[in-house]
Each structure stands twice: as C-alpha cells, then as structure tokens.
Structure 1
Amino acid sequence: MELAQEEHKKEGVIVTIAIHVLLLFWFAFFGLTYLDPPPEEEGITINFGTTDFGKQSPNESQLTEQVQEETESEQSETSPAENVQEELMTQSSEEAPAMEKKEEKKEEVIEEKKEEPKPDKNLSKALDKWKNKNSQPAGGDGTTNQRGNQGDLDGDPNSKNYVGGGSGDGLRYTLSGRKMLKEPVIRDDSPHEGTVVVDIIVDQNGKVLRATPGARGSTTTNSTLYKKARDAAMQTKFSANPDAAEQQKGQMTFTFILN
C-alpha cells in the first residue's frame, strides 16, 4: 500500500508540473498582447440644436412605424389562439370514439354470466349410497325372506353373491361390470382369523392375472392367511367384458373366522 501511494504522489507531481509549464507557454505567446498603434479614444455624440431647452416629440415617420409594428404583433398573437382552439376541437373529436369503445368494453364485462358450480362427483356418489342404505325399494334382491336389497354397499350391483362362501370364511369382491362365474374353494384349517383384502388385476376374458394381498382394509398380517387369500383369488373366474380395460383393477375381501 505504501509503495502504491508513493507512486501516485510521483505521478501527481509530474502532472502538476507539466500543466504549469503548458500554462506558462500559453500566456507567453497568446495571453499577453499589446496593440501597436494603440486604439483611438472614443467619445459621446451630442445632439445638434438651436437652444438650451426643448421637449421630445416623435416624428411622424416614427409614429407610423410604431403603429405598423403594433398591428403586426396583434395579428401574430391572435393567430396562435385560433390555432389552439382548432387543435382543441380536433383532439376532443378524436378522443370521443375512444371513450365510446371503453364504455362498450365495460358493458360486455357486465353481461358475462358466471358458470354455476357443479356438485362434486364423489359427494353425489356418497349421497346416493346413503339414500340406498336407508331406503328399501319395492323390488329387492337377495336370498332372505325380508324386504330389501341384500348385499354390500361397496360390492357389484350385478353380482349374485350376497354373503361369503366356503368353510367358515366370508367373501366379497369389487369389480365394476363383472359377475363372479367361478367361486374359489378355500380350506381354512389354520388357527388364525382376520380379514385380508386382495388387489386383483383381471383381463377382458375374466381371468385373474395378478393378486396382491395386504391391501388397505386388512386386519391381519398373517402370512398363512395371505397365501390362502392369494391362492383363492387366482382361482376365481369372472364374466368377460370386451368393453373393459385390458387390465381392470378390482378387490376381493376374505374374512377368516374360527369355527
């Protein structure tokens, strides 16, 4: 830092000396001048008259020139005023259509109608289930002697399976647009009980391609019950549906009860 400051000081000294030298040369050759011969002395002119007293009165030629100048100045002042009035008229006439367009836009915005809110599909489905649960239609379906529609709210309305089958176990399934053609045969000889929910994948012909036990809703994690539920799901056969997806998702629920 000290070396840099010393270098800056040296540069400053050199620059100031150079400036002073240039100023001296300038004053020596151009700044100081002397006129040879010297300029003549100047005086004040005095008006020529005949007496020592008098009164100023303008000449006729001067009066006519003043009158002409005043008339010209008045004309020049009136013409800009007329131009300003013409410009104001043209500007007001040009801005009028723009104001009309803005008013039209405001009216268009007011005329727009808001779309009516649509009810949620999930909410409407839940309400329909609740209505079906609390109402008993005249034409029921089931195997008991009581009036009503036997089955489960989460099941298939076209299914003919109303309760679980097998030895000591219950069966339910959810597969839209399909019927169970072949029920699985389950041999429950294990000392365990619980509910196993199985996710299934079914093709268009009704064959179960894949079964994965332990889905949401299961109440047990017993590996023996998982295996029984998976084997039973793979044995199941559903009705064909060419309009369904190539791999349709569904669920089967197995409830194992101790006898």
Structure 2
Amino acid sequence: MDYRRDNGTEARTSKITGIAVTVAVHAALVAAAAFSDLGALTTLYPPPQEQSMLIEFEELKPEAIREKAGREPQAVEIDRSKPMNLVQQSQGQFTGKSQNVAKEATLGPDGDVEVPEPVREKEIDRRALFHSAANKSEQDTLAAQTSEKVSDKLKEGHALGNTAKGNSQGEPNARLKGRSVLGMLPSPSYSVQAEGTVVVDIWVDQYGNVTKAVAGAQGTTLTDATIWAAARSAALKAHFNMSPDAPALQQGTITYNFKLK
C-alpha cells in the first residue's frame, strides 16, 4: 500500500513541474519579443556620429547685404527752368487717324505745366466747293444743250446746203433732211463759159450712196445741156452719212452755182 501512494505523489509532482517549466518558457519568449519590438521603436538620442548633419550659417553684415542687393535708388533732380516735352496719350481705340499731340510745353512761374492749344485742322470752304460744283454742272448743261441743238439742225437739213461756206457762188450745196455730206461735195467739171444755178434732184440709200440724180429741178437758171450733165455727174459722186432709220431711197437736192471762168 505505501508503494503505490509514493508513486502517485511522484507522478503528480512531475506533471506540475512540467507545466511550470512550459509556462516559464512561454513567458520568457513573450518577454523577449516585447523587448525586441520596443527596441525597434525607440530612437537613440543623441544619434551616432556618422549619421548626424551639421549646417553652418554665415552671418552677413548690413553693408554686405546692401552691396549684394544692389545700389540704392537715387533721387533725380528736375531742372524746372528747362522746357519739358509732354506727349498726350489717347485712351480710345485706334481709328487710323492722327491723334492730337501736344507740342513743347514749358513750366510757368508757379511750377504749373503750360500746354499750348492743339493745332486745329484747316476748315474747308464748303461754299467754294458748292460754287465750283454748280459751275461745272452749268457748263455740262450748256454743252449738252449745244450738242442737242446741233444734232437737231443736222436732222432738219440745211436749206442753203451743208458746206462750210454756205450758198456762196461757185460752191455746191446739198439738202437732205437728217443727213450730212461726208467730206466735201464733188465740184462739176466743165469747159464752157456759163454763169447761173443748176439744181439736181438726188435719191440716197441708207448707206449714203447717191443712186439717182436728175438735173433741172426747181431753182435752175441755166439751160445748157453740157452744164446739166456736169452737175449730174458730180452729184452721183457725193456720199452722205449712213442712217438705218432713213427711207430706202431718200430724196434731196444738190445746188451748183456756176460762174464765168
């Protein structure tokens, strides 16, 4: 009986001892881990010599600071006895026209700036322009009226002919309403001695050509057949201006004044 009691007591003691050892080991491990983490989070102060940084600042004197910053601005004295040039600045938009620029300004006795009045633009006499335009218009009107009168006279024809010398002796003259002779009327060629007038009836086409001529019309004073033939031959050589509005054959007359040679 005593032997079994001693074995049981020994077994319990061994078991308790094992548990205590296990707990102690675990506690030691936990403590070691805790100390390790605490050492990682803790910064050594002061830091080691090789990890520190030293920055030195140089103290500058006020004179050195002014030299580096530059020279101080100096006041400029203005001589008020000399004239000043002032330019007026325009605040409006640029329109392409010249702006009024003030000329040379001077200082008054009180130190005020005296600005001369701006130069005014030369005014244009509109009455003179109107008068000139009115004269030109009047001249144009007179020229148009004169041209119209001349045109009307040409259309009516010349009662005494259309040559420059009129119905003078020895010069032929034509009458054809609204038409005029191109150049000069041909003069008749004759060798007999005769003095008088021969009127030739003519028929002119739209192209201005004399297609037919008959001597001895009203107003003729000569009866010589040779003179009549010479007048008719000269009339056929005459030419008038073209007129598409004229009749196909327009009738007129050419008057020849013969004189003694």
The question of a shared fold, defined as TM-score above 0.5 by the shorter chain, is answered with no
Which structure has the bigger radius of gyration? 2
| TM-score for both structures, normalised by structure 1 | 0.37
TM-score, with normalisation over the residues of structure 2?
Answer: 0.37
